[in-house]
Amino acid sequence: MKYLFNWEKSIKEEELNKVIEVLKNNGLALLPTETVYGIAANALSDEACKKIFSAKGRAQDNPLIVHVSDKQMLYKLVKNISEVEQKLIDNFMPGPFTLILEKQNIISNTASAGNSTIGIRMPSNSIIHEVINKSGIPLAAPSANISGRPSGTNVKDIFDELKDKVDCIVNGGECKIGIESTVVKVINDVPTILRPGFITEDDIEKVIGKVALSDKLFKKVTKDDKVESPGMKYRHYAPKTKCILVSKSENQINIINNILKKEKSVCILGFSEDKEKINTNKFIDMGSKENLNEIAQNIFSSLRKIDKQNVELAIIEGVEKKDLGLSIMNRLVRACENNVI
Ligand code: TXA
Ligand code: MG
C-alpha cells in the first residue's frame, strides 16, 4: 500500500488526485460505499480488473459490479435498456441496488468474466461518487475481503487482510448500510432478485409490481451447478470457526442454552435483548432484534469477531426471513455453510 487517507470528516482534494492517479495507472483503491467497502479498479481496463481477481483470490467466472457516478456514464456502458429496467434505474439509483444489463464492448471482459452482461450500480456514498465523478472512470469493485471471508464495513476490520494487496486505502468510517446491494436481473420483464440486499422485495414490488426471488438464495449450490449469479456458488462470508445458525423460533433461546450445556468451547452471536438469557460469557452483540437495520449494519463485523474468540463453535441467532431479514438470513446461512437447525 502506497497511500492511506482518512476522509471520515471530509474529502481532501490533493489526496483525491492521488487516488485518481492510482486508478489511472491501473492500480487498486480500497474505497467506502454506503453498503460495504469495495476494492476498486478501472472497469475499462483488463489489466486493472485482473488485479482485483488476484488480490481477492476470486474465481475467474465470478463477474464484478461496475460503479458509475450518474446516468450519463451508465448509458455509455450498457445497451438495450427495457422499460422495466429504466423504471428500476429511475427508482433505485443512486443507492444500494445493482442491475444486470447488456454491456457495451468498452467494459473489460475480465470485469464481466466473459459474459455479455454486467452488473451496474450507482453508489450514493459521497467518497466513491466523487472519485468516479472527478476521474470519469467507471469502477469495477467487489466487496473488500479475501474471497470467502465476511465483507469489510470499516477499515480496521480489513486492514491486515488487504493492506499488502491494494495501492491505496481511503478510510470513510463505518459503512451506513453494512450489507451489500440487491442484485437484480430482469427476466421476461420480471425483476428477479439474484442476491437480496438492502433494497427489499417489497420496495421493488411497490414501484414495478411482480418481483421474483431466485430459487437458489438458500440452497447449497455446488461448483458445477448452473446459476444466474456465479457468486452463489462459492463459500461466502464465512468465519474460520465452525458456525451453526439457529432459525428463528419460540424456542430459540432454549435450543441455544441446551447446546451450551453440552459444548464447552462456544461463542454466541446474538441479539442485545437475549444477552442476559443465554448462559455464556462469550456473547457477540449483533444489535436489537427489533431493529433489522442495526443488525444489517453490524452483521459483517460481528462475523469477523467470531474468529477472535478462539472457540471451536459459534452459534448464531437467526431472524425471520422477511423484508431486510431475508437478506440478513441469506448472509448468515452462507456464513454457516448451510448448517442450520
Ligand atoms: O454493495 C455491493 O454490491 C458491493 C459494493 C462494493 O458495491 N459490491 C459487491 O460486489 O458486493 P461482489 O463482487 O462482492 O458481489 C457481486 C455479486 C456476486 O455474487 C456476483 O456473482 C454477482 O453480484 N454478479 C455480478 N455481476 C453479475 C452478472 N453479470 N450476472 C449475474 N450476477 C452477477
Ligand atoms: Mg462479495
User: Residues with beta carbon inside 6 Å of ligand 1?
Assistant: 33, 35-36, 38, 62-65, 96, 98, 100, 115, 117-119, 121, 141-143, 180-181, 183, 194-195, 228-231
Residue whose CA is at the smallest distance from ligand 1 atom 12: 142
Q: Which cell goes with 335?
A: 456464513
pLDDT digits (tens, 9 = 90+) for 39-76: 999 999 999 999 999 999 999 999 999 999 999 999 99
Cα separation, 305 vs 43, in Å, equals 33
Banded model confidence at residue 313, pLDDT cuts 50, 70, 90: very high
Q: Which ligand is nearest to the CA of 78?
A: 1
pLDDT digits (tens, 9 = 90+) for 76-112: 999 999 999 999 999 999 999 999 999 999 999 999 9
Indicate which atom in ligand 1 lies nearest the CA of residue 39. 6
Please enumerate, as own/partner, the contacts of 51-54 that have beta carbons within 8 Å and a separation of 24 or more: 51/26, 51/27, 52/28, 52/140, 52/141, 52/142, 53/110
Mutate to test the pocket of ligand 1, among 143, 158, 236 (most ligand atoms within 8 A of CB): 143
SS3 per residue for 39-95: EEEECCCHHHHHHHHHHHCCCCCCCCEEECCCHHHHHHHEECCCHHHHHHHHHHCCC
Q: Which ligand is nearest to the CA of 99?
A: 1
Once rounded to an integer, what is the mean pLDDT over residues 196-207?
97
pLDDT digits (tens, 9 = 90+) for 221-279: 777 777 787 777 777 888 999 999 999 888 999 999 999 999 999 999 999 999 999 99
Q: Which ligand is nearest to the CA of 150?
A: 2
pLDDT at 311 over 80: yes
In the chain the domains, ranked by start, together with CATH numbers, are 3-213 (3.90.870.10), 242-335 (3.40.50.11030)
Banded model confidence at residue 123, pLDDT cuts 50, 70, 90: very high
Give me the sign of the Cα torsion angle 65, 68, 70, 72.
negative
Indicate which atom in ligand 1 lies nearest the CA of residue 232. 19
Q: Do 178 and 96 touch, CB atoms closer than 8 A?
A: no
SS3 144: coil
Indicate which atom in ligand 1 lies nearest the CA of residue 118. 29
Q: Which cell goes with 165?
A: 494487496
Banded model confidence at residue 329, pLDDT cuts 50, 70, 90: very high
How many C-beta atoms lie closer than 10 Å to residue 25's C-beta?
A: 12
Q: What pLDDT sits at residue 104?
A: 98
Tell me the CA–centroid distance for residue 135 and ligand 1, in Å: 22
| pTM of the predicted structure, to 2 decimals | 0.96
